[in-house]
Amino acid sequence: MSAVGRESEHPHAPRGPARPVLPAPARSRLASAVRDSAVTAALAFGLFLPLIGFETVTNIRNEVTLQTRWPLLFAITAAMGFGRMFYTLTLEPAIRRRALRAAGAPSAWRARAGRLFVPSAIAFIILYPAVVLLLTGASGALKWIDNFGIQILIYVMLGWGLNIVVGLAGLLDLGYVAFYAVGAYSYALLAKTFGLAFWILLPLAGILASFWGILLGFPVLRLRGDYLAIVTLAFGEIIRIVIVNWVDLTNGYAGIGGIPRPTFFGIPFSADDDGFAAVFGLEFSPLHRTIFLYYIILALALLTAYVTVRLRRLPVGRAWEALREDEIACRSLGINTTNTKLTAFAMGAMFAGFAGSFFAARQGFISPESFTFIESATILSIVVLGGMGSQIGVAIAAVVMIGGTEIMRELDFLKDVFGQTFDPTQYRMLLFGFAMVVIMVVRPRGLISTREPSVFLHERKTISAELVKEGRG
Amino acid sequence: MEVFLQQLINGVTLGSIYGLIAIGYTMVFGIIGMVNFAHGDVFMVSAFVALIAFLLLTAWAGISSIPVALLIVLAVAMFFTSLVNWVIERVAYRPLRGSFRLAPLISAIGMSIFLSNFVQVTQGPRNKSIPPMVQGEIVLYRHNHYPVTLSYKQLVIWVVTAALLACFWYLVAKTKLGRAQRACEQDQKMAALVGVDVDRTISMTFVIAAALAAVAGTMYLMYYGVVSFSDGFVPGVKAFTAAVLGGIGSLPGAVVGGLLIGLIETFWSAYFSIDYKDVAAFSVLAITLIFLPQGLFGRPDVEKV
């Protein structure tokens, strides 16, 4: 019997907030809160004793020595203990009360808000650069448009691309960044070697990436679930290692610099006389290019979303979702599962290729560092955290996860709280990993827990995500 | 021939480390059907705990006897790593048991990112190196001035791995806990019906997996003398490869797979290209899964409609 199959055959009762609620006298609740917090504090002390209690410091003679950090250790232990007590006394009863209130049909107000959400969100992101310019002025806007706008939109696009593979076709891909890398390197190498323009290379990069998607898709057709995830991870790493070691072509770790930037219908964004600013009679500002790039990636991301929405209504899109729901039934009905899987891989890879070539054009410099496994994990987690198959969910997850980690760079006021040596940016990935765990534990089905089936009988309605299968790869 | 013998010795040493980590993957996969992505980082954490314990013992407690120090380091690393993995299971995986399949995987990836960054933040991003714990070597055979040597540290790794595997085999094959584990692996509901505490058994599986990873971590630290926060991922993936190669769910398979991966990697580095040694391991992973998905010792995966 398959190990994976067993889970679905014997579902355990869900734990946590769904437990039957027994009214407990306040006295015993306090006692149990004290006991819980003591246990938590003891565990925290044990957990953090080696790694926080002691710090390994390399001294001048390059020897590693130990220093103690008892105050920090005790502070963290105490914080965990009191945090636990706070949770047991205040949050837990609140969560239970909420669980008791039966989750009925969503209210009319919510439904209306849901309908208005997408158009207003799109309107907001189209107006975003203008809003930022108004609020922060030209000097601050660059950071907000580039670090937040463009960065988040790249991940939204990648998330939507991977959503085709994972969310629609149910194929778990942990090596998605490989196609992003193929796109980026295709653009960088072809643009530098042959001097081709961004708009010619963009489709070319997409085609090359989807070619690789098919190439890597072939061997994994028979694999399912976790195995598929691991093999795609291996392929992703192999591509990265080849990029690192094939120095003649890719320049290895040093990366490729001086990649040509996109032009505005042939007009470069430079300070020269024939540059964008001069032609349009504006004062030169790096903002012009940033805003232009912002709209390119916005258009690309919206294209991805639009194509996905349309594809879901085509036979191939329906075949993807059928494949996710039940591969055997799919085959029995005469759907060619090989072609269905390969088209999903190719489509997903193509959008990654677009995003990759945009990334190379935006940065002007690429190196293998940008295409590590962590990127794949980030993109997959955006798809799963958002709610697989839900495009709005993926976009929200990208904003939360990427925007959240980017905002860590801006929290300089924390230095006043924790002292000048405190560097919030260090904690970005730490919190990122932590957030992944927390969101999964709280909402295993992702942030958006409803889906809209593309095929329906009589009337269109949303259904719970629980009813959608996740596919077995 | 000399090179071959020397690489064989090196490969078996590396393979023992991979085998110890691979057992953790295979046990967890066998019992709850999840790829414990964070296991490689648990291994890295154990190497750091061992590093700190070693520094404490030598610099502060002034223990000069290496065997005693090594034993204490091993015990300390096993204890703290088990605690870490026990808490991880409670916090990040248990609430997701019986939930949809991707949730624990994402949770484990998150845990993996969290652990490596936690170590980076608390211990700094630099490589941490220690003075060699065990020195000296035995020259087994000399030909044309090229000696084939077995260093004492390699010997220590072999002995410790063999001893721990014997203990582990006893635990799984002969004790009540081992029986409960095998029962849960076959059918959790049935095991619960006959009075096996499934939750506790799964917790203990994570504890044992972490203890073996801690042995691997200590051995890794002793062998290479250096560890950094990012050292969890690649050994983790290779150990997972080993588990898959041996047939995931099969305990002897994990050890054999570990040895094979160790040998493949060292021979590849010696005879082909050291730059592409990771490619060799990853290719083995892909080829095994594609052509022999049940691995060497695994049971074939039959899907019923």
* Cβ–Cβ below 8 Å for A245 and B92: no
Q: Is the pLDDT of residue A407 over 60?
A: yes
Q: Is the pLDDT of residue A3 over 50?
A: no
* Cβ–Cβ below 8 Å for B99 and A235: no
Q: Is the pLDDT of residue B245 over 80?
A: yes
* Cβ–Cβ below 8 Å for B115 and A49: no
Confidence category of residue A298, pLDDT binned at 50, 70, 90: very high
Does any domain span residue B6?
Answer: no
Q: Tell me, yes or no, if A227 comes closer than 8 A to chain B by beta carbon.
A: yes
Q: Is the pLDDT of residue A181 over 80?
A: yes
Domain that holds residue B169: 19-233
The interface residues of chain A toward chain B in range 327-366, judged by CB-CB distance below 8 A, are 328
ipTM of model:
0.87
Mean pLDDT of chain B: 87
User: What does residue A346 show for φ and ψ, rounded to 5 degrees?
Assistant: -65, -45
If you average pLDDT over residues A57-79, what whole number do you get? 84
Within its chain, how far is the Cα of B73 from the centroid? 17
- Across A391-420, b (16+ Cβ under 10 Å) vs e yields bbbbbbbbbbbbeebbebeeeeeeeeeeee
Quote the CA–CA distance of A165 and A168 in Å, as a whole number: 6
* Total length of chain A: 473
If you average pLDDT over residues A368-395, what whole number do you get? 88
* Cβ–Cβ below 8 Å for B303 and A5: yes
Calculate ∠ Cα A412-A416-A419, nearest 5°: 105
Please give the DSSP secondary-structure letter assigned to residue B299: P
Q: Tell me, yes or no, if A1 comes closer than 8 A to chain B by beta carbon.
A: yes
Shortest CA distance to A347 belongs to which of A307, A398, A387?
A307
Please give the DSSP secondary-structure letter assigned to residue A264: B
What pLDDT, in 10s, does the model give residues B32-87?
888 888 999 999 999 999 999 988 888 777 777 788 888 999 999 999 999 999 99
What pLDDT, in 10s, does the model give residues A200-219?
999 999 999 999 999 988 88
What pLDDT, in 10s, does the model give residues A82-134?
988 888 888 877 877 777 765 555 566 666 777 788 888 888 888 888 888 88
Quote the CA–CA distance of B65 and A344 in Å, as a whole number: 61
Mean pLDDT of chain A: 83
Calculate ∠ Cα A313-A317-A321, nearest 5°: 110
Give the torsion sign (CA, B119, B121, B123, B129).
positive
Q: Cβ distance A457 to A310 under 8 Å?
A: no
CATH of span A120-467: 1.10.3470
Distance from CA of B189 to the nearest CA of A (A): 7
Residues of A whose CB is below 8 A from B301: 2
Residue A99 burial by CB count (10 A; 0-12/13-18/19+): exposed, middle or buried?
middle
pLDDT above 90 covers a percentage of chain A that reads 25
Cite the DSSP H helix spans in A52-197: 70-86, 92-100, 108-143, 151-163, 177-194
Overall number of domains in chain B: 1
Quote the CA–CA distance of A9 and B101 in Å, as a whole number: 12
**3-state class (DSSP) for residue A451:** strand
Tokens 């295409």 belong to: A371
Least confident interval from A93-97, A236-240, B73-77, B122-126: A93-97
If you average pLDDT over residues A12-28, what whole number do you get? 51
Q: Which two tokens stand for residue B35?
A: 């790829």
Q: What is the pLDDT of residue A6?
A: 40
Q: Which residue did the predictor score with more confidence, A70 or B290?
A: A70
* Cβ–Cβ below 8 Å for B276 and A241: yes
β-bridge pairing B128-129 and A463-464: unpaired
Domain boundaries, chain A: 27-97, 120-467
The interface residues of chain A toward chain B in range 16-45, judged by CB-CB distance below 8 A, are 16, 43
Residue B166 burial by CB count (10 A; 0-12/13-18/19+): exposed, middle or buried?
exposed
Quote the CA–CA distance of A165 and B102 in Å, as a whole number: 14
Quote the CA–CA distance of B236 and B46 in Å, as a whole number: 13
* Cβ–Cβ below 8 Å for A384 and B106: yes
User: What does residue A370 show for φ and ψ, rounded to 5 degrees?
Assistant: -80, -5
pTM over 0.90: no
Does any domain span residue B141?
Answer: yes
Quote the CA–CA distance of A262 and A198 in Å, as a whole number: 5
Residues of B whose CB is below 8 A from A242: 279
If you average pLDDT over residues B227-254, what whole number do you get? 87
If you average pLDDT over residues A379-384, what whole number do you get? 90
Mutate to test the interface with B, among A40, A54, A421, A472 (most CBs of B within 10 A): A54
* Cβ–Cβ below 8 Å for A12 and B94: no
